[in-house]
Structure 1
């Protein structure tokens, strides 16, 4: 505890207005001697026993908590009073009263909220920041990556010859007799040459050109952020790591559902057609709409997954009352992963600026329930197509649902519960009939795989049975999952996998390899990059550390006809 300075205690004060420096010093010395010589006593165990035996008890005096209180108590000690002259004691008491008035903080307590509202406390901050960021890239991890060259990848395909039943080439009968003669003149020759030989076979084929595109994302860390973060986290390192993972995740989504507009790619999705709006009573767990006035007006777009949507459809409307639900049904173009719906309400159509995004579905049917949206994304923001990009390529979903796919079925219904997996068995049969395909796996959204697994259990007419053995009568594990579907055509087990970013309602059927000897196709799917993914740290030309990723390439599918899809799977 620090005492006030001598000139405050004994200096210029009403009681001693003109004390010399020597007198001030002498009085301060007397005070120090008195404080030092003050008798002290430590209370020991024997004192406590004696006090209780005499019935006196023990009392503990409240001790001072401030400097002012400690000095005031000390000055009240008889021994100090005896050691100081009356003038010195009066001078010290007066000076302390002035100090108390001038410096009130001397008598304040320190608390969790004082003298600072946030308290004089430490923060239990755990470093570094927690990265709760999912980043699975199963397609990128699986598909082989190969070296590209130039501006596009090219290959030639023999799609059929006589006897294969593919490529549009017909069959011929090979039987001959001794007098059989067939024309073997070169195409376009003016003369005909006939030989006693069997008929010539025919071929079909085509060239394939897959343009390359460039891709990049960037990030920046200001100097202030980097240096202020020292001792907590390396912000520049966090930026580089996040940039790498972001690039890989965006490539994963491109590989899954990207659409390109370049030569040979599928291009933009068309808007939905045949939009109908039907109001009906809410059923089951459905929640009736609220906020409706007279009519609802709906426009829809074709959903392209993560990267965008088509332009808007024409508007459709229906009279509605609060408490009903509204079914929006559309006809979707090939390749769409579902429908997005925008809704407004009023006596007349208020226009796209007041038509708000209501949600999307993985099939051709979306049901509007609950409170009608009054904010968010307006239909007026859909000013052009965002389903396809000039700097992009076709991913797995567009290829498996496109015109070169071997099989596409837009189900527009829930998966069968009377014959679980029948939709895929139909696809297997069609693919085998077309090109003798024998797929390797089916990719599903998580909710669609759950629906497929539940289809084994929800219908008693199903030909599947679950049996509990004697040792499972207690502690039974509930739940089952479909991991493989046996191809009833070829007998091969087809793996069922969940892809974390696959839109609900679409199930690509994938062939990783071909069941063809000497096909010259080791992998049906491959990524060709002129420059594979790399990171660039830009020269510092401002108060920031800037980085970018870069890659230059495309996805190549050598055999689209060996792949297919079931789309339009409605949630059960």
Structure 2
């Protein structure tokens, strides 16, 4: 066959199979450039879990200890005077037995045989499943250490106080009804405007059995109404609920109160038309603030009145705005200074770390860096002189100086925590000072583990690998008075 014949034959084939069209990448006749393994784009921020010591337990259903709260002298407790040749009266003790029940935390997952086989050459699906299981368990444990609530019930939220005033608002004229629900830290984390206030959830385990977890919300208040004319702003405030870090607001006509906002101050101001909302107040029927399956976290421990920790709610202030932190004029924040002074005056100790939200870090920086504090600031230049006028914009405070210590002062790190809510500052003395002689408290708080993290790989009953990561533990806080909490801080 000569060249001309071949060319003619190819042209006939092209015509028969429509191959005269150009082949491009849109035809998908290309390789698939898949990078392995998968990109895990989720944060695993667990500073408390990483920092608090983990101690092996000794079996049983709880870890137990006895606390000597104080030693009381005879006569007047602070007066040492004794007549010559006589003996003193006998001192007494204030003691308490404490028990912290072990609970189980964990998470499970499964990988089908097909998923394992399909993942060959991409990633070891069973190994990455185990890693993610551990990470999710750690994240849940961090939330529990910070804000777990076993014993501090919120009860029924008090009724809102309403008013209407002002001009220029666009809220339509009507008689509005307001219902309030208080939220623990768990409730604040679990609730949002899309899914609503968390009440209860029935969980079906991988074994087919069910159990109930409470979401962290109080029972709702009664309905309170207020007439509003066009141009007025509807303002609502509520009394603080001990243990709450946030409040959910249901607003509408009577019987049709829909969730409008979740605030970290006990007030709200509504000047614009209401949103359609996704949850009616009728969904809240009981107090779901505590979890019998959990333990008390640091925040709950500090908020319980019986524990004697410094716990202050900021003044309610202007509805919708609250009361912000205030500058001392000497490079510090009045409310934090008061907290540190109180910890020293009452217990002769100091917070060694402050945990804050990004909002409070910004507000603290604003209060500290004022014109009045300017003469107190120092700017260090690098010794090499390469950047003699180098400045860094948008700096924030990373340390807070506490003058109320026996040693003449202490620098306290200010740490961001992703789960500390806006409007809350947590101070914590991680180790008792030396003058708590013979205290037998190596750590103010410990995670006591009856059985630390362990992985269970279940027998094959289906064509999938089933696995779980668990831990049996409790947060033991030996000196709850070594904590401090300020809540309800307005943004500003």
TM-score by length of 2: 0.81
Report what 2:63 is aligned to.
Answer: 153
Question: Does residue 1:131 correspond to 2:40, yes or no?
Answer: yes
Structure 1's 108 and 383: CA in aligned 2 closer, same or farther, altered over 3 A? farther
- Kindly report which structure 2 residues correspond to 1:391-402, keeping only aligned pairs within 5 A, or say none: 391-402=293-304
Structure 1's 243 and 120: CA in aligned 2 closer, same or farther, altered over 3 A? same
Work out the CA distance in 2 between the residues paired with 1:488 and 1:215: 40
Report what 1:219 is aligned to.
Answer: 109
Query: 515-524 vs 125-134, which deviates more?
Result: 125-134
- Describe the SS at the equivalent of 1:442: strand
Question: Does residue 1:441 correspond to 2:364, yes or no?
Answer: no
1:347-367 Cα shifts (integer Å, max 9, x gaps): xx133xxx3332322221233
Report what 1:410 is aligned to.
Answer: 313
Report what 1:489 is aligned to.
Answer: 404
TM-score by length of 1: 0.71
Paired residues of 1:305 and 1:337 also in contact (CA < 8 A): yes
**CA shift at 1:451, angstroms?**
0.5
**CA shift at 1:557, angstroms?**
0.7
Question: Does residue 1:453 correspond to 2:391, yes or no?
Answer: no
Report what 1:76 is aligned to.
Answer: none
Structure 1's 274 and 437: CA in aligned 2 closer, same or farther, altered over 3 A? farther
Work out the CA distance in 2 between the residues paired with 1:112 and 1:323: 62
Note the residue ranges of structure 2 that are not aligned, 5 or more in a row: 188-215, 316-322
Question: Does residue 1:565 correspond to 2:467, yes or no?
Answer: no
Structure richer in helix, relative to its length: 1
Report what 2:444 is aligned to.
Answer: 524
Work out the CA distance in 2 between the residues paired with 1:485 and 1:551: 36
Question: Does residue 1:350 correspond to 2:255, yes or no?
Answer: yes
Question: Does residue 1:302 correspond to 2:302, yes or no?
Answer: no
Work out the CA distance in 1 between the residues paired with 2:173 and 2:115: 51
- Kindly report which structure 2 residues correspond to 1:20-169, keeping only aligned pairs within 5 A, or say none: 32=1, 35=2, 70-71=8-9, 104-106=16-18, 108-112=20-24, 119-148=28-57, 149-163=59-73
Paired residues of 2:351 and 2:482 also in contact (CA < 8 A): yes
Report what 1:171 is aligned to.
Answer: 77
Query: 553-562 vs 484-493, which deviates more?
Result: 484-493
Work out the CA distance in 2 between the residues paired with 1:282 and 1:140: 50
Structure 1's 128 and 512: CA in aligned 2 closer, same or farther, altered over 3 A? same
Paired residues of 2:145 and 2:475 also in contact (CA < 8 A): yes
- Kindly report which structure 2 residues correspond to 1:4-23, keeping only aligned pairs within 5 A, or say none: none
Report what 2:223 is aligned to.
Answer: 315
Length, aligned pairs only = 444
Q: Which has the larger radius of gyration?
A: 1
Paired residues of 2:152 and 2:243 also in contact (CA < 8 A): no
Paired residues of 2:112 and 2:463 also in contact (CA < 8 A): yes
Paired residues of 2:308 and 2:481 also in contact (CA < 8 A): yes
Report what 1:54 is aligned to.
Answer: none
Report what 1:182 is aligned to.
Answer: none
Work out the CA distance in 2 between the residues paired with 1:316 and 1:363: 19
Work out the CA distance in 2 between the residues paired with 1:394 and 1:329: 28
Structure 1's 234 and 409: CA in aligned 2 closer, same or farther, altered over 3 A? same
- Describe the SS at the equivalent of 1:335: coil
The one of the two structures with greater contact order (alpha-carbon pairs below 8 A, sep at least 6) is 2
Alpha-carbon RMSD across the aligned residues, in angstroms, is 3.0
Work out the CA distance in 1 between the residues paired with 2:78 and 2:366: 49
Report what 1:5 is aligned to.
Answer: none
- Describe the SS at the equivalent of 2:488: strand
Paired residues of 1:112 and 1:121 also in contact (CA < 8 A): no
Work out the CA distance in 2 between the residues paired with 1:518 and 1:480: 42
- Describe the SS at the equivalent of 2:259: strand
1:343-397 Cα shifts (integer Å, max 9, x gaps): 22x4xx133xxx3332322221233465522143443333433321011011011
Work out the CA distance in 2 between the residues paired with 1:230 and 1:281: 66
Paired residues of 2:179 and 2:250 also in contact (CA < 8 A): yes
Report what 1:503 is aligned to.
Answer: 421
Note the residue ranges of structure 1 that are not aligned, 5 or more in a row: 1-31, 40-66, 74-95, 180-195, 261-265
Give 2:431's match in structure 1, choosing from 513, 526, 543: 513
Work out the CA distance in 2 between the residues paired with 1:451 and 1:333: 24
Work out the CA distance in 1 between the residues paired with 2:56 and 2:170: 55
Work out the CA distance in 1 between the residues paired with 2:33 and 2:372: 60
Paired residues of 1:146 and 1:526 also in contact (CA < 8 A): yes
Question: Does residue 1:478 correspond to 2:396, yes or no?
Answer: no
